Amino acid sequence: MDELDFALKFPFTSEAKKLIGTMQLNKQIIEMGAERIRKALHGSSASRRVFNEPEIKDEIASFAAARMILGSLRNRFMTNIFAVNESKMVRNNLNKADPETLERISSRFGIKTKEGMLDIPTYLMYSPKSQHYRLINKKIISGKVRVTEAEELRLIEEAVRKHIEIIPIVKDAPDLIKKAGEKLLEELPKTEVKINVKAGDHPPCIMKLFESAKKHENLPHTARWFFATYLLAIGMNEDQINGIFSTMPDYSEKITRYQISHAKKRGYSVPSCATVMTYGLCCAICRVGIPTKWHNLDEKRKEEIRK
């Protein structure tokens, strides 16, 4: 893979930054950057086709322009969804990459496996928050974790996401950047959701999930499933639950509505506290057995648990 192609496929790298050098972010490139963010909002991880060196450099520069727009907006939801989408595009490119390219990217984050083993600190730094990646479910030998090729790619994807979502604040942004940002804000998905909960309304594990939703953070599948079954159990309707889930960066209305409807039709029970603990979602000693029984506690007991 030549350097131009490498920079195009991995625009977050120092090689890409060096390649575009002091290129000016003109109106066209800024519009391309805005479109890059817009694609993320619509869940499109398809790369734009380019045919010559000037087009490639403009495409690379559009990544920098997108980051400037996000840095001026300081909108956590938009930044997160952009980072998720860009990391998915990187993952698509890594799926087709040669071993040398894979090594170049993985080594940037210290993800160096030897005979399928990776040191625990690095693994914990980049492993997704899902039950599959919990250490209790992995094979550990002499302080190292056994990872498959697919898992290594997922770790790199997560490392790229975390790297991209760290965007410096841009003060006194140029007018073109400001205008592009203002237009994008108008295009944000409009939802009627208002996440207003106060201390004691729900068990600590659920309150933590509400806080994650407020911050537009991703939740692993087990957390979303638990959250949905709980919200259904306390009487929330499907539209309300969908509204809460719509705050998450990788939200898909079609998939979310299907899964909520499926859970309701099947009548899935809320997982027990013991099961929630295996998910890694328990954060207090409630001893209620099932999270919905939290509502049977008196206010004094709830306050004791929250402390």
Q: What is the pLDDT of residues 240-251, one digit of tens each?
A: 898 888 878 777
Q: How far apart are CA 7 and CA 14, in angstroms?
A: 9
- Window from 28-42, 139-153, 167-181, 197-211 with minimum mean pLDDT: 197-211
Residue 143: predicted pLDDT: 93
Mean pLDDT estimate for the chain: 90
Residue 194: predicted pLDDT: 60
Q: Does domain 3-185 have CATH number 1.20.930?
A: yes
Using one digit for the tens of pLDDT, what is the confidence trace for 184-242? 988 876 554 567 788 888 999 999 999 888 877 778 889 999 999 999 999 999 988 98
**Does the predicted TM-score (pTM) go above 0.75?**
no
Using one digit for the tens of pLDDT, what is the confidence trace for 52-99? 999 999 999 999 999 999 999 988 889 989 999 999 999 999 999 999
For the chain, give the percent of residues with pLDDT over 70: 98
Say which residue, 131 or 53, is predicted with more confidence: 53
Q: Which of 5, 170, 10 is nearest to 87 (CA)?
A: 10
Residue 50: predicted pLDDT: 82
Residue 254: predicted pLDDT: 82
Residue range(s) in the chain whose domain bears CATH number 1.20.930: 3-185
Task: List, in sequence order, the alpha helices (H) in 49-197.
Answer: 53-73, 76-95, 99-108, 120-126, 149-164, 175-186
Residue 43: predicted pLDDT: 80
Residue 212: predicted pLDDT: 86
- The mean pLDDT of 133-150, rounded to a whole number, is 94
The three-class DSSP label of residue 132 is: helix
198-to-195, 211, 241 alpha-carbon distances in Å = 10, 11, 18
pLDDT band at 131 (very low <50, low <70, confident <90, very high): confident
Residue 227: predicted pLDDT: 95
Residues linked to residue 144 through DSSP beta bridges, in sequence order: 119, 141
Do 231 and 95 touch, CB atoms closer than 8 A?
A: no
Residue 45: predicted pLDDT: 77
pLDDT over threshold 90, residue 123: yes
